[in-house]
Amino acid sequence: MARSGPEVADIFRRYGEAYRVQHDASLSTAQRRVMTAIELCRTAALGGHVEQCDHCGHRRIAFNSCRDRHCPRCQSLARAQWLEDRRAELLDTQYFHVVFTLPGDIAAIAYQNKALVYGLLFRAAAETLRTIAADPKHLGAEIGFFAVLHSWGQNLLHHPHLHCVVAGGGLSADGERWIACKPGFFLPVRVLSRLFRRLFLEHLEKAFDAGQLKFFSGLQHLSERNAFRRYLAPLRKAEWVVFAKPPFAGPAQVLDYVGRYTHRVAISNNRLIDIEDGAVRFRWKDYRHGNRHKVMTVTSDEFIRRFLLHVLPEGFHHIRYYGFLGNRYRAQKLAHCRDLLGMPVPEPSDGSSERDYRDRYEDLTGHSLRQCPACRQGQMIIVEIFDGATGPPPYWDTS
């Protein structure tokens, strides 16, 4: 289903080469790879296939996707697969959404040390949730949750924060009982905030002492220990933002809601308004001024710069699982949780992992890509596959 409006790929195709020339020295290998992937996504350069209706003979072409996790066009199918995998893991309990945000002064260090500091963000947030939840004064249980990293704000500037979706209860210390949260209340936010601040700063200082932090440009002076300690001093007293949203209406709402977060990229194509005369206009929500919807105009150069701020290090896992959702014992612990909650055993998978992109798109949108768009009676069948070297057959655009 092609979009009629502008896309991020259009901006890169139109202005990407000039950006590479102008910013050659500052572009990382990962940023270059992302730019190229988005530019080539769903073009003949990546190959594709021809489909033909088994009823009327109508043909159409489908070019391959780049499958890069930063590409707005490729995340819908990845999201559909992820939601499918998570469906059997939902428990019959409350679910809460907790957000951990790094202060601006730490975000500056994070940008120059992405893999390390983002990893510390995951570690400190997970330790905070598990420690407070395990305390008998609060819940006294082993909880399960997953966390999703976002590094952007609505204006595309660097704003690292972690979205955590947490089951509203957990296993008792002896594993014999399910301990549920109070209705509508998870854990005290101020307590979470204070512990998160302490744990993160402790981990950051240890990383500094181990020589793992690198500083460049305006932060280069922080390489000196006393300067680093002075830089952190105000942050030890500031209130760090930990925000707990109201609980979800029910387990079924969780998947619909969190799917918006798990595979979101810095900006989706539907927020773009137009690209004209070297300027890009896009919609954004101003959270600091009553969540007002606004339109921002930036140069194409600035748009690309902001987009590339959020390219993750190669191999970095931006979704992680903890507690009884931890990868090693997830199946056994989830089965035990379901047993304690009196839930039925989930139905086995129907082999959906083998379905192609048309089935996944139908799951996601409710529209079938298998149905012939011309006669609405036949099914589209793949009749030819081609690669980027040979290109599409000469009749690919036959109506």
Domain ranges of the chain: 8-71+358-386, 92-266+310-341
Q: Looking at beta carbons, which pairs linking 190-194 to residues 24 or more positions away fall under 8 Å?
A: 191/132, 191/138, 192/98, 192/128, 192/129, 192/132, 192/242, 192/244, 193/239, 193/240, 193/241, 193/242
Q: What is the pLDDT of residue 291?
A: 83
Q: What is the pLDDT of residue 367?
A: 54
Block mean pLDDT (10 aa), the chain, length 399: 77 97 94 96 92 92 91 80 81 93 97 97 98 96 95 95 94 96 90 98 98 96 97 96 85 76 86 95 89 94 97 94 94 95 78 51 56 90 88 58
255 vs 145: CA distance, rounded Å: 13
Q: What is the pLDDT of residue 28?
A: 93
3-state secondary structure of 253: helix
Q: What is the pLDDT of residue 118?
A: 98
- Token digits for 130? 């598990």
